[in-house]
Structure 1
């Protein structure tokens, strides 16, 4: 798949088959996530791979808008690690870039995934902090359920020329 095609055809997948996603594949996705750009090359992220069916089934009790997470064979919780910061304030952008890289890699590999927000919602952050016994310097950022897609949402043309400004407003 060509890169531009990958970017333009990626869609949020919320329904998955029962086919498992091997840990080696998850590690490939995480290699893509860790290849994302970060301010001052800090790489202020940590990742929790969730492939235990019991934990996956209980994720909606922590995050009510994790469609499909109970049916996805795996999920990744992307976290910001405040102890790795030398230039405070950029970890959210860095974790966003890592999350998008993971999503694009999943799509390029024929998998489905969806970005479900955790940060900055206090109830969700607290729920994940408790569920995974996160230390204070680790901030849960986003949960990404991953699996083989059981749906194929159509691509959409989201290009809006009227939102482009050259050399000023």
Structure 2
């Protein structure tokens, strides 16, 4: 698949077919995430991969927008680890770049995903910490359900020229 096709057809998928995603595909998605740019190449991220249905179902108990986890094949929790980094304040941008790489690589593989934000909401971060045993100095950033989409991907043009400014506002 061409890169621009993957970008233009990527969608937030919330309904998944009952079909497992191979471990090799998840490995490719994680490898793509780890190629993301980061401030000073500090790579302040960690990833939790879970297929634990019980844990995935529990997320919607503290996250109101995570119900799609109940039918995803797998979920990837993206976490930030800024402590001890030269540029600790840039970890959200770094984890955002890694998350976007995950979404695009999954699309390239024919898989569906949706970015379910966790950070900076304390109740969501605390719920993730308790459920997945995440240490207090690590920030749960997002959870990305992954699965085979029920619907087809279609390109969408979201270009809006009113949002582009030449040299000044």
Structure 2 unmatched runs, 5+ = none
- Please give the alpha-carbon distance, in whole angstroms, between the structure 2 residues aligned to 1:139 and 1:31: 20
Deviating beyond 6 angstroms after TM superposition, the runs of 4 or more aligned structure 1 residues are none
The structural deviation recorded for 1:104 is: 0.4
Asked if 1:20 is matched to 2:20, the reply is yes
Aligned to 1:134: 134
- Please give the alpha-carbon distance, in whole angstroms, between the structure 1 residues aligned to 2:84 and 2:31: 18
Structure 1 unmatched runs, 5+ = none
The structural deviation recorded for 1:153 is: 5.8
The structural deviation recorded for 1:161 is: 1.1
The verdict on how the C-alpha distance between 1:106 and 1:45 changes in structure 2, with shifts beyond 3 A counting, is same
Aligned to 1:167: 167
Q: Residues 133-152 of structure 1: CA distance to partner in whole angstroms, max 9, x if unpaired?
A: 11121100001000000123
The verdict on how the C-alpha distance between 1:84 and 1:148 changes in structure 2, with shifts beyond 3 A counting, is farther
Q: Given the two structures, how large is their TM-score scaled by the length of structure 1?
A: 0.95
After the TM superposition, which residues 86-97 of structure 1 pair with which residues of structure 2 at under 5 Å, given as runs? 86-97=86-97
- What's the RMSD between the two structures over aligned residues? 1.3
